[in-house]
C-alpha cells in the first residue's frame, strides 16, 4: 500500500482519482486545502484523510518523515479557480 500526502489538494484531487482508477492501493495520510468549498468537495469524492490541513502554514513536514511514500502537490490555481481572482492565463 502506498501512503500518500497532497497539498493544494483542490476539490477534485486528481492524484487521488488517478490512484483509485489505476487500482493502486493507497492511504491518504494527509491532504491540505484552504478553500472550504474545495474541502467539502474533496470529502465527498475521497472521504476523510487521516489529517486534513486547512492551511499549508500549519503543516509540519518533519512530522511525516518516513510516514509517506508519495507527496504530490501543485501550485495554487488562484488565477484559474472560481475561488481565486479569476484572471485566467493572463493573471
Question: What would the DSSP string read from start to end of the chain?
Answer: -EEEEEES-TTT-HHHHHHHHTT--EEEEEEE---HHHHHHHHHHH---SEEES-GGG--GGGGTTT-SEEEE----TTTSTTTT--GGG-
Instruction: Please identify which of the residues 32, 60, 63, 77 carries the catalytic annotation.
Output: 77
77 is catalytic: yes
Active site residues: 77
Amino acid at each position: 500500500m502506498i501512503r500518500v500526502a497532497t497539498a493544494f489538494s483542490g476539490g477534485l484531487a486528481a492524484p487521488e482519482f488517478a490512484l483509485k482508477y489505476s487500482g493502486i492501493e493507497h492511504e491518504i495520510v494527509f491532504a491540505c486545502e484552504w478553500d472550504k468549498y474545495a474541502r467539502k468537495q474533496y470529502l465527498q469524492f475521497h472521504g476523510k484523510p487521516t489529517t486534513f490541513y486547512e492551511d499549508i502554514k500549519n503543516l509540519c513536514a518533519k512530522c511525516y518523515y518516513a510516514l509517506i511514500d508519495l507527496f504530490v502537490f501543485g501550485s495554487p490555481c488562484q488565477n484559474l479557480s472560481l475561488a481565486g481572482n479569476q484572471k485566467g492565463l493572463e493573471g
